[in-house]
């Protein structure tokens, strides 16, 4: 993933926003969770957004847009399957083994903890008289 390419740029900006304390404004969805528990996963999305849940038909999904994935060298990347269900995918088969090994542990959002509202340790503050 190159930092000047679409995925790299987005990844770096999301990581930066989270490190600056904006993690509470982002909701991450794991692909495996969405495909194995779509209703529960979408209920969490609606809850995060503060919206009323809309009933989806996960057995009848229609693709209404087309992307030019071939431009980026990954044809079919945005092709939507007609049913939401678990998919067994070998990540190394989709991307190079080198890229897989480099970014396999790059899931910073999994261990995210909201920063303290007051990151200054009061015991470390030195007040100098005027």
Each residue of 80-92: pLDDT tens digit?
A: 899 999 988 777 7
Check residue 74 and give its pLDDT: 76
Q: What is the Cα–Cα distance from 61 to 79, expressed in whole angstroms?
A: 11
Check residue 123 and give its pLDDT: 57
Enumerate the domain spans of the chain: 6-114
- Rounded mean pLDDT of 57-68? 92
Share the mean pLDDT of the chain.
Answer: 81
Length of the chain (residues): 130
Model-level pTM?
0.68
| Position 42 pLDDT exceeds 90 | yes
Q: 46: pLDDT confidence band, cut at 50, 70 and 90?
A: very high
Six-digit token pair at 24? 């509470």
Answer yes or no: are the C-beta atoms of 78 and 67 closer than 8 Å: yes
Six-digit token pair at 106? 């790059």
Alpha helices in the chain (DSSP H): 6-17, 31-36, 38-49, 91-94, 97-103
Report CA-CA distances (Å) from 62 to 2, 17, 28, 55. 32, 33, 23, 15
Answer yes or no: are the C-beta atoms of 92 and 100 closer than 8 Å: yes
Q: What is the Cα–Cα distance from 63 to 80, expressed in whole angstroms?
A: 6
């Amino acid at each position: 993933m190159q930092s000047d390419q679409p995925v790299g740029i987005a990844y770096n900006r999301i990581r930066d926003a989270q490190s600056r304390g904006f993690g509470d404004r982002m909701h991450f969805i794991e692909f495996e969770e969405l495909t194995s528990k779509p209703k529960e996963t979408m209920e969490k999305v609606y809850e995060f957004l503060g919206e009323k849940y809309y009933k989806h038909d996960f057995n009848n999904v229609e693709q209404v847009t087309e992307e030019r994935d071939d431009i980026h060298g990954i044809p079919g990347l945005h092709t939507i399957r007609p049913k939401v269900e678990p998919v067994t995918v070998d990540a190394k088969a989709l991307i190079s083994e080198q890229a897989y090994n480099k970014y396999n542990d790059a899931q910073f959002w999994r261990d995210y903890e909201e920063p303290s509202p007051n990151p200054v340790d009061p015991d470390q503050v030195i007040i100098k008289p005027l």
